[in-house]
């Protein structure tokens, strides 16, 4: 079979790209290793930047976001004693939208059939071939039978562990990585949130109070990477949240049984270039941010925005330069989001080697943020998302 663009991976990046290309008349096929329900079972991001919402708007797929999403005008940093509110609306004129990645993915999946998208789930052994040529192709299996899909371009939207990035030879690539000595233990529960806005707390140890709706809460604490989820009963997580979120928030925590509980490792990672020959990379396949600052999904959305513009320019106007420019354009925004996520991670977590000096530096920085509108503006500008 032949198409114009093969997209590997049907996470948010792959699905969003498929919709944007289809809307512009570019043919594509999406190959996903997992089943649809499995993709929807992964609980991840919860905060959307305006760029992500506006892409959904452009596709006319924003009805549920508008109806069920929670627009937030601010969020809080907590130092154990007080809440430092970052009024993102007043400081930037923008809001963020609290809306689960699962729901965004569901909206994109539900619209795929009606809009004639070609998605192939449970595609095995996806392998990329001839990516340096103008006629790359992908082989894969469906129910054990080998298939081949030819294309003009392949876009790797297959996350950190997918095969696309590995198809770029080491001789032309560079990667940059920091692995953090802790992960985030997340808990989802059908209880009202403890606060109407998010709280990122560093009361000696990290905690995040987030939400999915007025009756569904999402909380995180950091734990050493050696911890096993089996050792964290719900009560143990709630006890820890009580301590770490500080007395003001803790007073309003409603406990309840977890409906999901997992540990995600934290990593900063950037792979350059994000295009090689006829292969483009988008989202987690090219870069990972630690979740502090909620940038991962939003970066995937901005990559997809740049990639779709480049591919549409290629197929409409034969503009090959647009495709060549993709990597530099995307990376400029990626590195700024990496910087923000890394700096917020350093500010809000205790590293194993940190001593009293490092702790005092964190306290001093939080105190500075509390007293400086300039510092708050810088955080707000990054949190709502830098311009594309
Ligand atoms: P993925 O979602 O990883 O999708 C990749 C897809 O490719 C998957 O469906 C996978 O099955 C498929 N695939 C993999 N290998 C193959 C293969 N061999 N063949 C075919 N298909 C394959 N980001 C935010 O912006 N805001 C947040 O609030 C936020 N919070 C987070 C909280 C947690 C706990 C975690 C873990 C992440 C969070 N993120 C957040 C990050 C965000 O979830 C990711 O950045 C986002 O999922 C990236 O989307 P993607 O489509 O690039 O990759
Ligand atoms: C959520 C995740 C994040 O990484 C973050 O910074 C804020 C909220 C969430 O899952 O709700």
Question: Among 55, 138, 296, 306, which is best to mutate for testing ligand 1, by the most ligand atoms less than 8 A from CB?
Answer: 296
What's the confidence (pLDDT) of residue 365? 97
Say whether both 200 and 296 belong to one domain: no
Q: Is residue 81 part of a domain?
A: no
Q: With 90 as the cut, is the pLDDT of residue 67 above it?
A: yes
Pairing between β-strand 287-288 and β-strand 279-281 as defined by DSSP bridges: unpaired
For residue 344, give both structure tokens: 């917020």
Q: What is the pLDDT of residues 184-212, one digit of tens each?
A: 999 999 999 999 999 999 988 999 999 99
Note whether residue 388 is domain-resident.
Answer: no
Average pLDDT, integer, range 146-163: 98
Does residue 80 carry a pLDDT above 90? Answer: no
Model pLDDT, residue 281:
99
What's the chain's average pLDDT? 97
Is the same domain home to 366 and 222?
Answer: yes
Question: 172 and 186, same structural domain?
Answer: no
Q: Between helices 50-58 and 296-317, what is the axis angle to 10°?
A: 40
Domain assignment present for residue 170? The answer is yes
Q: Is residue 85 part of a domain?
A: no
Is 382 touching ligand 2 by the criterion CB < 6 Å? no
DSSP state of 284: G
Beta carbon of 296 within 6 Å of any ligand 2 atom = no
- The per-residue pLDDT for range 296-346, each reduced to its tens digit, is 999 999 999 999 999 999 999 999 999 999 999 999 999 999 999 999 999
195 and 118 in a common domain: no
Confidence at residue 47, expressed as pLDDT on a 0 to 100 scale: 97
Which residue, by CA, sits nearest to atom 5 of ligand 2? 294
Q: Is residue 305 part of a domain?
A: yes
Mean pLDDT to the nearest integer, 38-66: 96
Q: Is the domain of 49 the same as that of 145?
A: yes
Does the beta carbon of 100 lie inside 6 Å of ligand 2? no
Average pLDDT of the segment spanning 144-169: 98
Query: Do the beta carbons of residue 147 and residue 137 sit within 8 Å?
Result: no
* Host domain of residue 257: 181-266+349-383
Ligand 2 center to 271 CA (angstroms): 23
Confidence of residue 130 (pLDDT cuts 50, 70, 90): very high
200 and 250: one domain?
yes
Helical ranges in the chain per DSSP H: 12-23, 36-41, 50-58, 63-68, 88-92, 101-112, 234-244, 246-250, 296-317, 320-348, 356-371, 373-383
Q: Residue 305 sits in a domain of what CATH number?
A: 3.50.50.60
How many Cβ atoms sit within 10 Å of the Cβ of residue 374? Answer: 9
Looking at the structure, do residues 129 and 229 belong to the same domain, yes or no? no
Residues 225 and 262 placed together within one structural domain of the fold: yes
The whole-model pTM stands at 0.97
Active-site residue, 265 included: no
Give the model's pLDDT for residue 81.
83
Q: Could you tell me which residues are beta bridge partners of residue 138?
A: 128, 149
Task: Note whether 255 and 286 are same-domain residues.
Answer: no
Strands 28-31 and 5-8: parallel
Residues 201-227, mean pLDDT to the nearest whole number: 95
Sign of CA dihedral 223, 88, 362, 79: negative
Report the percentage of the chain scoring pLDDT > 90: 96
Ligand nearest to the CA of 212: 2
Q: Per-residue pLDDT averaged across 67-88, rounded? A: 95
What is the number of the ligand closest to the CA of 164?
Answer: 1
Q: Is the pLDDT of residue 154 over 90?
A: yes
Query: How confident is the model at residue 204, as a pLDDT?
Result: 81
- pLDDT for position 119: 98
Query: 26 pLDDT exceeds 90?
Result: yes
Q: Is residue 78 part of a domain?
A: no
Task: Please report the pLDDT score of residue 95 as a whole number.
Answer: 98
ipTM of the complex, rounded to two decimals: 0.95
**CATH number, residue 222:** 3.30.9.10
Q: Tell me how far apart the alpha carbons of residues 143 and 104 are, in angstroms, rounded to a whole number.
A: 28
Same domain? For 261 and 319 the reply is: no
Q: Is 200 a catalytic residue?
A: yes
Nearest-angstrom CA–CA distance, 191 and 212: 10
Q: Which of 99, 140, 200, 314 is catalytic?
A: 200
340 and 294 both lie in a single domain: yes
383 is catalytic: yes
Instruction: Say how many Å lie between the CA of residue 45 and the centre of ligand 2.
Output: 5
Q: Which CB contacts under 8 angstroms, 24+ apart, belong to 223-230?
A: 223/182, 223/183, 223/184, 223/185, 223/263, 224/181, 224/182, 224/183, 224/352, 225/181, 225/182, 225/183, 225/265, 227/183, 227/185, 227/263, 229/185, 229/261, 229/262, 229/263
Quick one: which of 341, 376, 27 has its CA closest to 178? 341
* pLDDT over 90 at 43, yes or no: no
Structural domain tally of the chain?
2
- Domain membership of residue 79 (yes or no) is no
Average pLDDT for 122-134: 98
Decide whether any atom of ligand 1 lies within 6 Å of the 97 Cβ: no
- Which protein residue has the closest C-alpha to ligand 1 atom 52? 283
- Active-site annotation holder among 19, 72, 287, 305: 72
- Same-domain status, 325 and 219: no
Does residue 372 belong to any structural domain of this protein?
yes
């Amino acid at each position: 079979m032949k198409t114009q663009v093969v997209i590997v991976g049907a996470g948010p990046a792959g699905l969003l790209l498929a919709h944007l290309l289809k809307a512009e008349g570019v043919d594509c096929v999406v190959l996903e290793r997992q089943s649809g329900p499995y993709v929807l079972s992964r609980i991840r991001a919860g905060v959307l930047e305006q760029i992500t919402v506006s892409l959904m708007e452009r596709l006319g797929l924003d009805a549920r976001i508008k109806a069920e999403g929670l627009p937030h005008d601010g969020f809080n940093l907590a130092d154990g004693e007080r809440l430092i509110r970052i009024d993102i609306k007043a400081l930037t004129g923008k809001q963020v939208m609290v809306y689960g990645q699962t729901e965004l993915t569901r909206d994109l999946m539900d619209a795929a059939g009606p809009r004639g998208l070609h998605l192939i789930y449970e595609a095995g052994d996806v392998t990329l071939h001839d990516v340096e040529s103008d006629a790359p192709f992908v082989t894969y299996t469906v129910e054990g039978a080998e298939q081949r899909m030819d294309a003009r371009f392949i876009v790797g939207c297959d996350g950190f562990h997918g095969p696309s990035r590995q198809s770029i030879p080491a001789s032309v690539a560079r990667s940059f990585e920091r692995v953090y000595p802790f992960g985030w233990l997340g808990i989802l529960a059908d209880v009202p949130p403890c606060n109407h806005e998010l709280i990122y707390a560093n009361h000696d140890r990290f905690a995040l109070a987030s939400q999915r709706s007025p009756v569904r809460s999402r909380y995180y604490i950091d734990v050493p990477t050696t911890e096993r989820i089996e050792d964290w009963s719900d009560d143990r997580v709630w006890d820890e949240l009580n301590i770490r979120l500080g007395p003001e928030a803790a007073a309003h925590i409603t406990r309840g049984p977890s409906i999901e509980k997992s540990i995600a490792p934290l990593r900063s990672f950037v792979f350059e270039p994000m295009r090689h020959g006829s292969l483009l990379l988008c989202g987690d396949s090219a870069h990972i941010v630690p979740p502090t600052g909620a940038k991962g999904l939003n970066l995937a959305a901005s990559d997809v925005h740049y990639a779709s513009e480049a591919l549409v320019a290629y197929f409409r106007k034969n503009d090959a330069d647009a495709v060549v420019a993709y990597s530099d354009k995307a990376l400029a925004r990626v590195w700024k989001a990496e910087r923000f996520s890394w700096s917020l991670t350093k500010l809000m977590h205790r590293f194993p080697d940190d001593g009293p000096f490092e702790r005092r530096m964190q306290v001093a920085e939080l105190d500075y943020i509390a007293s400086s509108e300039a510092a708050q503006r810088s955080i707000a500008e990054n949190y709502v998302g830098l311009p594309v």
